[in-house]
Chains A and B, each alone.
Chain A
């Protein structure tokens, strides 16, 4: 079975450029999560969707970050304009739904470096 698929796996971009990260959740999963991992802050939730609707975006750092889920099989996380402090690993994850008993499965991550 295909897991959560993220692209790109690695991206190096210049400060000020727009970055778009993409995610395909596991088929049949209705909840999708975007996490960010940094050395300083560890793993932190940015936003999550249930049935394509954003439920909690309180973790989105600022207006430069936006996330969309136009359909059940695709989501994007966009950073515009990017800054060096956005350098991190961005994980997309999915679960059957938001009930706590459902395991959240992670993609392999998108490693972003902003220079």
Chain B
């Protein structure tokens, strides 16, 4: 069975705090991809990152970083020095070979000034 779990339903931080969004996945496939999407209050789904199952290198993009650990089936997302514009719902998703995206329930992040 394929499953993505985002245990944190809502997180609230004050601007400039660092925040980590957790994502745990389940799959029996050896080849798969993991994704993060952002859904701001305006409602669209914005692609943030893609990571394949054979690449466990961490990735940094500006204030965003991702930590992929196959041993714990986790793909966590950290925002450093959070800003109000980071307020959104963030979705972690799994895509297996020849398949669609399976989403977690999302984590709503509120960054207060």
A residues contacting B by CB (< 8 A) are: 33, 42-45, 48, 56, 89, 91, 93, 98-101, 103-109, 111
**B46 → A minimal CB distance (Å):** 8
- The answer to whether A104 and B101 have CB atoms under 8 Å apart is yes
**Which chain B positions have C-beta within 8 A of A104?**
35, 47, 95, 100-101
Given contacts A43-B91, A45-B101, contact A100 B43 (CB under 8 A): no
CB-CB under 8 A from A33, the residues of chain B are: 100-101
Given A42-B106, A100-B33, A101-B52, A109–B44 Cβ distance below 8 Å? yes
| C-alpha gap A104/B44 in the complex (Å) | 13
A101-B33, A103-B50 in contact; A45/B100 too (CB < 8 A)? yes
Cα-based distance from A91 to B100 in the complex (angstroms) = 14
Instruction: State the interface size on chain B (CB cutoff 8 A).
Output: 24
Helix, strand, loop or mixed for chain A's interface?
A: strand
Given the contacts A42-B103, A100-B97, A105 and B47 also touching, CB distance less than 8 Å:
yes
- Which B-chain residue is minimally distant from A31 (CB atoms)? B100
- Residue contact B35 to A108, C-beta cutoff 8 Å: no
Looking at the assembled complex, report how far the CB atom of B78 sits from the nearest CB atom of chain A, in whole angstroms: 21
Give me 8 A-to-B residue pairs in the complex whose CB atoms sit less than 8 angstroms apart, sorted by A's number: A33-B101, A48-B100, A89-B43, A91-B45, A99-B98, A103-B35, A104-B35, A106-B46
